Structure 1
Amino acid sequence: MSIYQHFRPEEKEFIDQVMSWKNYVEMNYSPKLTDFLDPREQFIVQSIIGQNGEVKYQLFGGANSAERKRALIYPDYFQPEDDDFEIQLFEIKYPVKFVNLSHPQVLGSLMGIGLKREKYGDILIDGERIQFFVAKEIADYIRIHFHQVGKATVKLEDLPLSEAIKANEQTEEKEFTVSSLRLDAVLSTASRLSREKTQKLIENGLVKVNFRIVESPSYLLDEGDLISAKRIGRMKLTFIGEQTRKNKWRIRLGYFK
């Protein structure tokens, strides 16, 4: 049975990448560090690498509560530490009395300096304080080129990871049975909205799966998917069980408060 049968067709390229990382570790007997991965990509790494063989993995995003994490894939002799993940924490200093900055503004400005999203981890906001994680190999580039968010001139302060803003998000898990693993069906059950209303939300570009807009109501969800929908909130599909006798799926969703 092909490994690709367990995943989505569009994930083939990433699966090949994970397999190449695993082969690198096996051939060189040395660790391999990835860029930041979204929750679905982390799930694929977990599924392919596992923890029972000679090649192992660990995930870390700068804080234990981080959503986006780097994966360290390593041979069984290696003992990973936080420093091995090569993550830099920055805090943005800006005129807080005159400017309000948002998550989209910060991300847009970071993307505007010419680096791919995979080099950035989570953006943390607590009131007026704003921090973000980056891959340490691009930290000098960030220091040189990142000076503005929107119309505000900003400065960066280097901080140790121990001073990261503590996330207040908590999840509440609930179990359901759904007729289908389609995005509209799961979202309808999770939100108690009609299927028609969730379809409109999806078709209007108001729903994301793993940080990417999905406009097809028939999009099939899989274990590990992170779903966010305007006016509904954020949730993670943490478990998919066996089908019932009535051909319904048992699932578990974690709701972010």
Structure 2
Amino acid sequence: MEVYQHFREEERPFIDQVLSWQSDVEMRFQRKLTDFLNPREQYIFRSITGDSPLEKGMFGGSENSERKRAILAPEYESVDSEDYQLVLLEASYPDKFINLEHRDVLGAFMSLGIRREKMGDLIVRDGRIQIITGNEISDYIRMNLTGVKKANVLFEEKDFSCLLESHEQWQTRDSTLSSLRLDVVVKEIYGLSRNKASLHIDSGIVKVNFRTVESPSFLLQEGDLLSVRGKGRSKIVEIHGKTKKDKFKITTAKLI
């Protein structure tokens, strides 16, 4: 199919899934609510459904949410924030005695046997843990996620007006690059030599869209989220096109 040529081969299963959702809604006139999509999946979803007359939207608890659920609905329906069936769970812990990080809570969540796609944004700050999830598993989480590292936790449902604001700050930068290869982009964003960037990739500490990529020649696309262990996260915000010298003009952002 022509749509595949715009995306990576490994993204075909997700593309097929989006096309199937779209077809089902058009044929059965029943809306589809997805699990939480990462930024790259959101980009693919928008690209594929953008020209469809179906009603569509994405929401993850706030306008700035990184992970969002999407809805496809018949064009005569309207979509409201309640339709995303989101729940905000919160627990507290003694941060004077126990240091918890994002990865600690995520690991405890994953140990319950729940797929990452069932969980939206996760905030760990000031002695509080907040998890955005779908209402279909919120009770299960409350009953079973009772400890993180050495901290006993009790999750309670909260109104979204209690959602903590993210302290994340992204610093954007416009660049002109010879290639969209992973080693070239990592070199540019993290201020490394190209050889050092390649070594990081070869050693398996670089992820693209939450998946370890060990090929320096891997080509990045708009919407990709990157992380380098020990150096933080970044993303490809926009690819503007090429210069007269056939170089790529892009906008990147790095979490500071």
User: TM-score range, shorter-chain basis?
Assistant: over 0.9
* Mapped contact 1:34–1:70 kept (Cα < 8 A): yes
TM-score by length of 2: 0.94
1:63-82 matches, cutoff 5 A: 63-82=62-81
The two structures, once aligned, show a CA RMSD in angstroms of 1.6
Partners of 2:161 and 2:131 lie apart in 1 by 13
Partners of 1:229 and 1:195 lie apart in 2 by 14
Partners of 1:153 and 1:242 lie apart in 2 by 51
Letter in 1 for 2:10: E
Stretches of structure 2 lacking an aligned partner (at least 5 in a row): none
Determine if the alignment matches structure 1 residue 14 to structure 2 residue 24: no
Partners of 2:251 and 2:96 lie apart in 1 by 43
Partner of 1:40: 40
Counterpart secondary structure, 2:79: coil
1:73-222 matches, cutoff 5 A: 73-222=72-221
Partner of 2:56: 57
Counterpart secondary structure, 2:172: strand
Q: CA deviation at 1:231?
A: 4.3
Q: CA deviation at 1:94?
A: 2.8
66-75 vs 2-11, which moves further: 66-75
Partners of 1:170 and 1:98 lie apart in 2 by 27
* Mapped contact 2:22–2:72 kept (Cα < 8 A): yes
Partner of 1:2: 2
Partner of 1:229: 228
Letter in 1 for 2:41: E
Letter in 1 for 2:162: E
Letter in 2 for 1:3: V
Stretches of structure 1 lacking an aligned partner (at least 5 in a row): none
Q: CA deviation at 1:151?
A: 2.9
* Mapped contact 1:120–1:133 kept (Cα < 8 A): yes
Number of equivalences: 256
Partners of 2:187 and 2:210 lie apart in 1 by 19
* Matched-pair identity in %: 46
